[in-house]
Structure 1
Amino acid sequence: MNTLFRTRFLLVAALSAAVPQALLAQTSPNAMPAAPSTTGTMPLSLQQAVSYAVQNKSSLLATRLGEATAAAKVGEIKSQGLPQVNIASTLSDNFKLQKSLVSFPLSQTVLTQSDLAAAQGGTQQVLGTQQLALPPQPFAFGLQYAGNASASVSQLLFDGSYLIGLKAAKVYTELAKKQTQQAEIDVVEQVSKAYYSTLVARSRLALLARNVQRLDTVLYQTNQTFKAGFAEKLDVDRLRVQRNNLVVEQQKAQRLTELSLGLLKFQMGLPQQQNIQLTDSLGAAVVDASALRQRLGVASQTTGGGVDGLGAVPTAPTAPGTDNTAAQNRLDQQNALSGGLGSQARGAINYNNRIEFSTLETQQALAGLDLRNRQAGAYPRLVLTGAYGFTGSANKMGDLFAFRGPDSRSSAGFANQNWFGFGNVGLSLQVPVFDGFRRKYLVQQTRIQQQTIEKGFETLKQSIDLQDAQSRTTLINALDVLDNQKANLDLATDVARVTRIKFNAGVGSNLEVITAETDLRSAQTNYYGAIYDVLVAKVDRDKATGELFNQVKK
């Protein structure tokens, strides 16, 4: 049993370290008790350990950064509806100006001999014209250096996707908060189990110290009896062997206690160098078995394990010739799935207490908004635009930065403006007409995602039902084992006490004392193992019902 006890603690440590620090605190961390100071030796109750972990665990701090990211994402979406202002400036060196062909309709005056003769005779004559067939000529527009400076403003007036995005932003923030709550519940579970593990290890270590002290007393008395000639050396040697084994077991328990403390610090996010002192006692941590059985709807071992107090009492055998195997199998299956709940208690599970269910509901809401967003892609988009700026050009770089306006004149009195202003306002209307069925297939994908989430609800409900039944059954079994181990411990304690009295009175043998002491230590080990199993089963039960955080906070 000693090996089993040690294996249990090591297994808890390994599993706890392997659990991903992901994803229910049903109350904000500020509602928890204040975390203790980390200077010197830290006094630590279970509530303080949970409070410190919720506020300082590095994995939780990383998860809360997701909430900050969600808030920033909301700001990004809202910013799309605010005015968009841009300032732009360009400077270019057109070292080779682009030319364009330009066709000019040219004509020339034609002077004929008749026109000349008429003019010589003193008659006024109108000369005719003739069109010239010239090919298009290349011309370069602009100068070598050009600059531009402008400011533009746009304001979104209507966009269906933007309006739906505002609604989705709030839901997205809620999803990030629920993911943080899921991570907090996981931390509460791990810290609670590690704290209980340390309590049990510490109590068992103290018990082993008392066992060594008691065995030292028996060994001393036996040795004195041997010196007086009323006992054999074999009796002394047997007790020495037993004491050596008990000391080794005590040393192992000491190391396991240190390991449990290290695991607790790890789950809390506390430095391993920090000294801690657990202020809760194991007796205070042990649940009220009677009240817990009543809440679970089961009776004690003496009256049976069923909700009506008869579940564990054997019934009369089936009459010969009656085959009810199929009916019994169905009944067993129903009892297994309901965790042995009575007919009135079945179906009373509140799925909303589980953060996983609430998270899935939020994901479903997001999927619905995503579908509406895809459909809104068919709506027109209206944007108000405006721009104002200046553009200039010059043959020399120095002239470009002269910034001559409309009132500028050259030395000869001619206008020599090189920068010109421009401005415009307008409305931009975009009406999607045909996108190659892209939006159609996006809507199909979103609808399939919605259906997947709906199927997930049924799977999650079945999983919660199973977890509820498993946690309930495990807790009931652990309570039964605890009752049995407590009775065995009482019996073993009484047997050891009577055996020592008989031995001191000279009517009992040393072998009986050794056997009784061995049985007592085995009963003690089994009892503390049963206590730990009950505490862990209670934590699992509270998590399955969604009450873990509130139970620890009380």
Structure 2
Amino acid sequence: MNTLLRTRFLLVAALSAAVPQALLAQTRPNAALVTTPTAGTMPLSLQQAISYAVQNKPSLLSTRLGEATAAAKVGEIKSAGLPQVNVAATVSDNFKLQKSLVDFSALGGGSSATPLTAADIAAAQSGQTVNIKPITLPSTPQPPSAFAFGLQYAGNASASVSQLLFDGAYLIGLKAAKVYTELAQKQTQQAEIDVVEQVSKAYYSTLVARSRLALLARNVQRLDTVLFQTNQTFKAGFAEKLDVDRLRVQRNNLVVEQQKAQRLTELSVALLKFQMGLPQQQAVQLTDSLGAAVVDAGALRQRLGAASLTNGGAGLDAVPTAPVAPGQTDVAAQNRLDQQNALSGGRPIAALGALNYNNRIEFSTLETQQALAGLDLRNRQAGAYPRLVLTGAYGFTGSAKTPGDLFAFRGPDSRNSNGFANQNWFGFGNVGLSLQVPVFDGFRRKYLVQQSRLQQQTIEKGFETLKQSIDLQDAQSRTTLINALDVLDNQKANLDLATDVARVTRIKFNAGVGSNLEVITAETDLRSAQTNYYGAIYDVLVAKVDRDKATGELFNQVKK
């Protein structure tokens, strides 16, 4: 496998945000570990990179703004139960007054008259007292007449207050407010996990690229030494020019590969800065080493209950093993056991009972959504309850023929020049209870409740789907990690062999019993083994993170 192709593969894998990444043994970012940008070079450990990203990653800050929005939404819901006070003032110019038809004949009888007869006149002339009584004449029918009420200019100023006394939907909304806040917090938790994965992946990719670059530099130095010795041997007449040319070609190719690796390392550092939300202009110095990040394969195998390629140890007493014949390891027995478990659809005995669905943030989020769905159902059912509101208002209303007269604000004690009352503003006030009892809404509430019940059933089905998905991820991550550990063991053995072959080949060549072609072939095989070994290390780190995510351990680490 071409060494440069392997390096490119590692970098492309680091650029993919879909592959989960995290620390092998990380804790929740501590504020004390957050590193701020400096004018010089920023020392950066993996923990510091994660802490900085959690505090400064723009996408995560946007998620936290969503959490703050949820808190504001909760405040909006609670405000409906507080007193509602409103103050209003209006002034209007009724340039054309509204008229109404009024039947004035219905307000009373016809006109009145005082009848006077000749007998009454004669009695009065004779000195007698005459009682004259007015009589009402029959009214003459009149059609209704148009009559305008009010004056041209009118004003109104009032203050009203209302207090919700009882509303079933509001009471349930208060309970849902806390659950809604928890949902927003869990969404932020999910975003934090994603950031930890991305930063860890970029950091590991940079460590691998940097270590391989240092190894290439040592290979160039070693090849320069061989080239110098071969050239000196050629000048002494004990080697051919073809041997020197072959080494020069090999060195040129190695230098070009080194230059490409240098650019890929710089690109991986830029990716790390991007995942952290760190400005690209800021210089960084990674303080962690790849050796410190390499996992303990034996401890992992014990946790997984898997056999080792080298010693065949399963690592856990709970894993049954077949009797081992003299000179035979239990690798075959363990492999048969794992194969039987896989074919039967079950997990290995060592993994049984280790998976806790509640450790997965997705499962916890779905539980919160289920609680919200239940409260939504109760809220729609509460729409059938009556609603009681206490109301009150107090204000003033006035009218006048001119604007100046309207804004005179004359009260009940005001008098005109003739001593007559000329009040133009009058007060009013009221207090009462408003009771609203829903009777029939065209079955709207019935269908809303039906929708809520169906939503609850959908979420319940989602639990089964999620559990199956988590079980599958658990099995896949376990298999992938075991395979990666096996490949790492194999690549480590190949690297040791290739190193020893290259060493012996150089000794033979220097002693004059080996060919230059053997040296070049051995060096090529060594570089290929080195690249494969670093690729295997990166694959184990990624597989370990996938395993942590599948079992929910990454979620627990972020919560700490």
Please, what TM-score do these two structures have when normalized by structure 2?
0.90
What is residue 152 of structure 2 aligned with on the other side?
A: 144
Q: Is the CA contact (8 Å cut-off) linking 2:112 and 2:137 kept in structure 1?
A: yes
Could you tell me how far 1:80 is from its partner in structure 2? 0.6
Structure-2 residue corresponding to 1:155: 163
Amino acid at match of 1:116: T
Contact 2:359 2:555 in 1 (8 A): no
How far apart, in 2, do the equivalents of 1:206 and 1:551 lie?
A: 32
- Residue 6 of structure 2: aligned partner: 5
Alpha-carbon deviation of 1:106? Answer: 3.2
SS of 2:384's partner is coil
Equivalences for 1:122-271 in 2 at 5 Å?
122=123, 124-132=131-139, 133-271=141-279
Partner of 1:436: 442
- Name the CA distance, whole Å, in 1 between partners of 2:310 and 2:10: 31
Matched, 1:409 2:419: no
Q: Which moved more, 1:97-106 or 1:45-54?
A: 97-106
- The equivalent of 1:323 in structure 2 is none
Q: Deviation at 1:518?
A: 1.0
What RMSD in Å do the two structures reach over aligned CA positions?
2.5
The answer to whether residue 42 in structure 2 is matched with residue 42 in structure 1 is yes
CA offset at residue 543 of structure 1?
A: 1.4
Counterpart in the other structure of 2:62: 62
Contact 1:467 1:544 (C-alpha < 8 Å) held by counterparts: yes
Question: Residues 158 and 383 of structure 1 are in contact (CA less than 8 Å); yes or no, is this contact kept in structure 2?
Answer: yes
Structure 1 residue 13 displacement after superposition: 4.1
Asked if residue 352 in structure 1 is aligned to residue 364 in structure 2, the reply is no
Please give the residue correspondences for 1:11-50 in structure 2 after superposition, counting only pairs within 5 Å: 11-16=12-17, 29-30=29-30, 33-50=33-50
Quote how far apart the aligned CAs of 1:309 are: 5.7
Aligned in 2, Cα 1:250/1:475: closer, same or farther, shift over 3 Å?
same
Q: Which residue of 2 aligns with 1:496?
A: 502
Taking a change above 3 Å as real, the CA distance of residues 436 and 240 of structure 1, as seen in their structure-2 partners, is same
Deviations 1:298-357 (A, max 9, x none): 121134486546798447xx9xxxxxxxxx99854335x63xx22x63243101111110
Rate the CA distance shift 1:295–1:27 in 2: closer, same or farther, 3 A: closer
Name the structure 1 match of 2:537.
531
Equivalent AA in structure 2 for residue 266 of structure 1:
F
For 1:321, the equivalent position in structure 2 comes to none
8 Å contact from structure 1 (residues 542, 551) kept in 2: no
In 2, distance between residues paired with 1:380 and 1:411?
56
Judged with a 3 Å threshold, the aligned counterparts in structure 2 of structure 1 residues 421 and 498 are, in CA distance, closer, same or farther, namely same
Describe the SS at the equivalent of 1:131: coil
CA–CA separation in structure 2 for the residues paired with 1:260 and 1:272? 12
Equivalent residues in 2 for 1:66-85, closer than 5 Å: 66-85=66-85
Structure 1 residue 35, shift from structure 2 partner: 2.7
Instruction: Summarize the Cα distance change of 1:551–1:142 in structure 2 as closer, same or farther, 3 Å threshold.
Output: closer
- How far apart are the structure 1 equivalents of 2:422 and 2:273? 81
CA distance in 1, matches of 2:516, 2:450: 83
Aligned to 1:117: 118
- 2:343 is aligned to 333
Residue type at the aligned position of 1:129: T
CA distance in 2, matches of 1:439, 1:413: 64
Structure 2 CA distance for partners of 1:553 and 1:486, relative to 1, 3 Å: farther
Describe the SS at the equivalent of 1:274. coil
CA contact (8 A) 1:46 1:552 kept: no
1:424 and 1:27, CA in 2 relative to 1: closer, same or farther beyond 3 A? farther
Cα distance in 2 for partners of 1:438, 1:488 equals 73
| Amino acid across the alignment from 1:99 | K
Q: CA shift at 1:449, angstroms? A: 0.7
Paired residue type of 1:334: S
* Aligned-partner Cα distance in 2 for 1:411–1:20: 91
Cα distance in 1 for partners of 2:191, 2:384 equals: 40
Whether the aligned pair in 2 keeps the contact of 1:298 and 1:309 (CA below 8 Å) is: no
Q: Tell me, yes or no, if the aligned pair for 2:42 and 2:284 is still in contact at 8 Å.
A: yes
Residue identity over aligned pairs, in percent, reads 82
SS at match of 1:96: coil
Give secondary structure in 1 for the equivalent of 2:137: strand
Q: Which amino acid aligns with 2:499?
A: T
Alignment partner of 2:33: what SS? coil
Distance 1:38 1:360, change over 3 A: farther
The SS at the match of 2:163 is: strand
Q: Which runs of 5+ in 1 are unaligned?
A: 319-327
Structure 2 residue runs of 5 or longer lacking an equivalent are 124-129, 323-328
- Is the Cα–Cα contact under 8 Å of residues 77 and 165 in structure 1 kept in the other structure? yes
1:299 and 1:308 in contact (8 A); partners too: no
In the alignment, residue 146 of structure 2 is paired with which amino acid? P
1:508 Cα shift? 1.4
